[in-house]
Amino acid sequence: MSLITKLNPKSPSLEVGGSFASLSQSDIAAAMTGLDALQEALIRFYWLGDIGYAAYLRDQAIIELCNRGVEGELAFKMGSVIVDDLANSTCSACNGTGENSKKRVCGHCDGSGKKGLSDRELAKRLEVPKTSFQRRYKEDYKVVYARFEFIANATARQISHKLG
């Protein structure tokens, strides 16, 4: 069973394997050894659903957005939305399995099982017109979102053997 399946409390496969449920807090803490603060926060938030890390991750997102030139209040809003988007990224069409009912690749998430908010939803949450979101902010949003998602997935793979 993949680590992703094992770690993802939302995954329907969890009940099949049941491995995550059998992991103790000390098993998890041991697997976290050596991770930096951002990696640990992403594992706990993205994979383990610990919303206590949301504010930390939002602040990290804001720092990255500011470094990219996104200004004050919009950077704050965008940071909050990125964290929210990450927390709710399970594809609703396939329920995170990546396959449709015919066992083919899910067309809504291209088989990843994950799906972020649409441009329309993002623009609405950021209170900017969709066109200006797409023209001015989408790249900044996607770069920071993708970086967090990448770290969450890469770190999950990195610690998988420790949780074996």
Angle at alpha carbon of residue 136, lines to 134 and 140, rounded to 5°: 90
Q: Decide whether 70 or 109 has the Cβ nearer to Zn ion.
A: 109
Q: Which residue in 65, 81, 109, 159 binds Zn ion (CB under 5 A)? A: 109
Minimum distance of Zn ion from residue 4's CB (angstroms): 14
Which conformational region is residue 140 in: left (phi greater than 0), alpha (psi within -120 to 50 degrees), or beta?
Answer: alpha
* Cβ neighbours around 75 below 10 Å, total: 22
Q: What is the CA radius of gyration of the chain?
A: 17
Contact present, 87 and 45 (Cβ < 8 Å): yes
Minimum distance of Zn ion from residue 116's CB (angstroms): 12
- The Cα–Cα gap between 70 and 12 comes to 38
Stretch binding Zn ion (CB under 5 A), from 6-14, 19-27, 68-76, 105-113: 105-113
94 lies in the binding site for Zn ion (CB under 5 A): yes
Q: Decide whether 31 or 94 has the Cβ nearer to Zn ion.
A: 94
Q: Which residue in 68, 77, 108, 125 binds Zn ion (CB under 5 A)? A: 108
128 lies in the binding site for Zn ion (CB under 5 A): no
95 lies in the binding site for Zn ion (CB under 5 A): no
Contact present, 47 and 56 (Cβ < 8 Å): no
Q: Decide whether 91 or 151 has the Cβ nearer to Zn ion.
A: 91
Contact present, 45 and 125 (Cβ < 8 Å): no
2 to 21, contacts with Zn ion by CB under 5 A?
A: none
| Residues at the interface with Zn ion (CB under 5 A) | 91, 93-94, 106, 108-109
